[in-house]
Chains A and B, each alone.
Chain A
Amino acid sequence: MSDVISISRLTKLYRNGRGIKNISLTVEEGDIVGLLGPNGSGKTTIMKCILGLNRFSQGEIKVFGKDLNDNFEEIMREVGALVEAPAIHKDLSAYQNLALRAGIYGGVPQARIERVLDMVHLLQYKKDKAGRFSLGMKQRLGLASAFLTEPKLMILDEPVNGLDIEGVVEVREIIKRMRDEKGASFLISSHMAGEIEKTCNKVAVMYEGELIAFETTENALRLHPSLEDYFLDVVKEKRGEVII
């Protein structure tokens, strides 16, 4: 299988010295890779680098086999994303927000916009101003925006953040369906091991700006009762190294 994302020795340090160091990671076609790590471990930073939001000083990112910086437009045509808080224009309606994003792709059929709104159960609120949405509704709109163009690669930062129980299950199902039916690939972050365990076929553990483990979920679960235990063990091991 071909690599959808291949990151090698990526370093991005913010001015305060924090950030990510020497990250190498690959996402293969059809993978749902979960980035697991505590708050501030660098999950969002990796995603922002892949999406051109953060400029990085060292390393290389290839998406669909092509260098990100040299082929940005071509690559982004096939990428959908939700990073941190969903970017929502407050005074536009849910529908207008999606239409605005569709505009940059030269337009998306109206039926498609309504379909993604329906997928996240916002169709009945499509004319409401997005600024007045609840936290979870905004998150749903952010997801709809990521799914809008049926991209081959989706980068979702805490996708189920703020969603209700049914919402969490539905989003998981949508992700799996897109992978199975369309062959889409995913990079998903979460600080909840249980969520990654249920959704992802591979798990990457981030800790203090470093990637300290990268395994298939199957392997990780072979020696551990749950991904949570796996995560705790990996982190403990890492801390042990530092002390010795």
Chain B
Amino acid sequence: MSGLILGMKNEFYKILHRKKYIVLFAIGALICIGRLGGGMLISKISSGIVDIQTNMPLGMMRLMTDILAPLIIFMAVTDLFASEIQEDTLKTAIMAPITRAKVLVSKAAAVFLLCAAYYIGYYLVCLILQIISGNVNASVMTAAFGAYMLDLMPLIAVIGFAVLINMISKSPSLAMLLCIAVYVIFKYMEYYVSPMGQMLFTSYSQWHKLWMGSLLPFRSMAAKVGILSGSVLILYTISYIIFDRKDI
């Protein structure tokens, strides 16, 4: 257990040393600011008749869950697997008092931690903007925070998916390309190929809607939890089998 936590710390340390994750976060924050500015402008022009921004954190959520989060996951997982294999630095993690299973989980956990930091940071940016816009309702904001935390869960599957793609790709650029291409196909299926698309793990990026709706649709919820945990299990198991046999 302690090996796992030490490993995760190490992997997280490596991620934090790359500036691109900070840049990406700044871009996300800038988009939020732009949206608030636009909203205020429209509201001013229409002298308050049109008021777009009622819930900034929820309004900006799709950008985070469907675009930014997958992107940072693909980048971070590729940095920690395919790039390390190419640069021959993965061997430091392997030639250490930690089993391969723990190496794999500690890398995935570090990426999850990065996502959590992004979600919390992004929520805070939105919250501050909301406060600036002068339209805050504490209970609505608390609910929005709950939604962000709930939406972290489906990312575990997205991380597993990226790990699996990394296991079968020969180079970092190929891994990144495949991650994005397959993700886009899955997203396309979610919207246009029903019911198959709705059964993919990628379609749960905003599953807080299930949990926080006015009435809880228990049956479909149970089914989705089932599909998601099943996907997680399959993705990580196959990744582990491939990883464990690899010559590093």
Tell me the A residues contacting B by CB distance below 8 Å. 14, 48, 51-55, 72-77, 79, 81, 83-85, 87-92, 96, 100-101, 103-106, 145
Contacts and interface: CB of A to CB of B under 8 A. Distances in A.
Contact of B14 (A14, A81, A100, A145): A100
Interface in B72-109: 87-100
B95 A73 contact: no
B89 to A, nearest CB: 5
A87 B244 CA distance: 20
Contacts, number: 79
Chain B, interface size category, equals 20 to 34
Nearest to A101: B92
B91 A53 contact: yes
Given A73-B97, A74-B97, A92-B17, A104 B7 contact: yes
Contact of B247 (A14, A79, A85, A100): A14
Contact of A54 (B18, B93, B96, B247): B247
A96 B14 CA distance: 10
B94 A52 contact: yes
B10 A100 contact: yes
A124 B59 CA distance: 52
Closest 6 CB pairs of A and B: A76-B97, A77-B97, A87-B92, A53-B248, A104-B96, A73-B97
Given A103-B10, A106-B6, A76 B247 contact: no
Contacts of B187: none
Interface of B: 2-3, 6-7, 9-10, 13-14, 17-18, 87-100, 244-248
A49 B97 CA distance: 15
A83 B17 contact: no
Contacts of A14: 247
A55 B9 CA distance: 27
A103 B9 contact: yes
Contacts of A73: 3, 97-99
Contact of A101 (B17, B90, B96, B248): B96
A96 B90 CA distance: 16
A89 B246 CA distance: 21
A100 B89 CA distance: 12
A89 B96 contact: no
Most chain B CB within a 10 A radius of its CB, from A55, A91, A104: A104
A81 B95 contact: yes
Contacts of A91: 17-18
Given A100-B10, A106-B2, A83 B97 contact: no
B17 to A, nearest CB: 6
Given A73-B97, A103-B9, A104-B6, A87 B17 contact: no
8 contacts: A52-B100, A55-B244, A73-B97, A76-B98, A77-B97, A104-B6, A104-B97, A145-B92
